[in-house]
């Protein structure tokens, strides 16, 4: 005697829980679509997170380079080691730079760049050079906070302050 016979009714009735091939395929398709949407959403969120992190990295690198130049008679660093030494000695917290290796792993710097070679003859606000960029080739940056823009703005301000004649009569 089976358990179903003992309790007097069948455990599962075939009419109630009958799955057709069509119903099974619909369930599998719905699950596949849900998995695809979830995978896409996770990748999209991760992609946005990486873009934001890259934008902060280049921003912080631009700030670091300007501080290095200010501390070194407006000279550009010669290599990663010199920039790292400055970074380790500074007390400033840079935008989202957790450690120096984070910069080195994600950003390239043209250490042959010469800030003194930049002229400001044109009225362009965009930097006429590319001395700092992301290794992944992306152009993730906040408006006005790209590393080249930060350096260019700094150099332009220096040029503006050094090119203005000093007033001798007490007027600006």
Q: Do residues 140 and 134 make contact, with C-beta atoms less than 8 angstroms apart?
A: yes
What pTM was estimated for this model as a whole?
Answer: 0.70
CA angle 33, 35, 39 (to 5 degrees): 115
Residue 116 CA to its chain's centroid (Å)? 28
Q: Is residue 170 very low, low, confident or very high in pLDDT (cuts 50, 70, 90)?
A: low
pLDDT digits (tens, 9 = 90+) for 131-163: 999 998 888 777 778 899 999 999 999 887 876
pLDDT digits (tens, 9 = 90+) for 80-137: 999 999 998 887 877 677 788 988 999 999 999 999 888 877 666 788 889 999 998 8
Domain coordinates in residue numbering, the chain = 46-161
Q: Is residue 13 very low, low, confident or very high in pLDDT (cuts 50, 70, 90)?
A: low
Q: Taking all residues of the chain, what is their mean pLDDT, rounded to a whole number?
A: 83
Alpha-carbon distance of 156 to 122, in angstroms, equals 11
Least confident residue range of 12-26, 39-53, 84-98? 12-26
Q: Do residues 77 and 61 make contact, with C-beta atoms less than 8 angstroms apart?
A: no
């Amino acid at each position: 005697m089976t358990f179903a016979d003992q309790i007097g009714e069948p455990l599962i009735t075939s009419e109630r829980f009958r799955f057709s091939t069509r119903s099974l395929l619909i369930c599998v398709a719905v699950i596949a679509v849900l998995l695809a949407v979830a995978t896409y959403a996770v990748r999209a969120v991760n992609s946005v997170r990486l873009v934001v992190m890259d934008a902060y990295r280049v921003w912080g690198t631009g700030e670091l380079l300007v501080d290095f130049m200010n501390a070194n008679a407006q000279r550009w660093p010669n290599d990663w080691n010199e920039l790292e030494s400055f970074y380790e000695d500074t007390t400033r917290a840079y935008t989202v730079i957790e450690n120096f290796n984070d910069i080195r792993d994600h950003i390239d710097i043209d250490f042959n760049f010469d800030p003194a070679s930049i002229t400001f003859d044109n009225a362009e606000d965009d930097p006429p050079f590319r001395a700092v960029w992301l290794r992944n080739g992306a152009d993730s940056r906040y408006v006005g906070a790209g590393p080249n823009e930060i350096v260019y703005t700094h150099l332009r301000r220096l040029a503006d302050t050094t090119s203005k004649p000093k007033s001798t009569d007490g007027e600006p």
